[in-house]
Amino acid sequence: MSSYRQHLYHIVFRTKSSLHTLKQDHVNDLYAYMTGIIINKKSHLYRINGIENHIHILTDINPSLAPIDFVRDIKVSTSLWMKKSFLFPAFNGWAVGYGSFTCSFMDLDILIEYIKNQQEHHKKVTFEEEYRNLLLQNGIKPDEKYFP
């Protein structure tokens, strides 16, 4: 008998100090680079998007990888690439933490649409409001020292 698995994660991380350093004119290059990292880790990317100060990734992580290592590798590799590429001259790194939320396959289409519509969503909601809501929806009490 074969083994089957589904390890869906909604991952969110922001730029250092939530600065708006991910200028949208080169963001597709960044997403392509991140996609390559995810594929090289034998994981499946469902959707990636964000705005100037944070990124959302919806992915099925290879079960041989710990989510913390997966996120760390993406952040380290992209940070080095962005500094070397000069496409994001104001970028000064990613914030230390991140959010990683397990997801149900039944919610996949809803999450894809949510991530796809980040630009529209953030016309009404700040990153801090969004992130606090994601934590609460996933049963996590936010540590208020990280919210202005």
CATH of the domain at 94: 3.30.70.1290
Could you tell me what percentage of the chain is helix, strand and coil, using 3-state DSSP and rounding each to the nearest 5?
Answer: 45, 20, 35
- pLDDT at 62 (0 to 100): 95
* pLDDT greater at residue 89 or residue 3: 89
Across 74-95, average pLDDT: 96
Q: Report the predicted TM-score, pTM, of the whole model to 2 decimal places.
A: 0.94
pLDDT classification of 2: cutoffs 50, 70, 90: confident
| Residue 148 CB-density burial (10 A; 0-12 exposed, 13-18 middle, 19+ buried) | exposed
Identify whether 12 is part of a domain. Answer: yes
Q: Cα 132–36–64 angle (5° rounding)?
A: 75
Evaluate whether 15 touches 94 at the Cβ level (below 8 Å).
yes
Identify whether 26 is part of a domain. Answer: yes
Residue 148 has pLDDT above 70, yes or no: no
* pLDDT greater at residue 6 or residue 40: 40
Identify whether 1 is part of a domain. Answer: no
Identify whether 2 is part of a domain. Answer: no
| Residue 105 CB-density burial (10 A; 0-12 exposed, 13-18 middle, 19+ buried) | exposed
Across 47-56, average pLDDT: 98
Domain count, the chain: 1
- Give the residue numbers spanning the domain of 88: 8-146
Q: Cα 54–79–93 angle (5° rounding)?
A: 60
Across 51-58, average pLDDT: 98
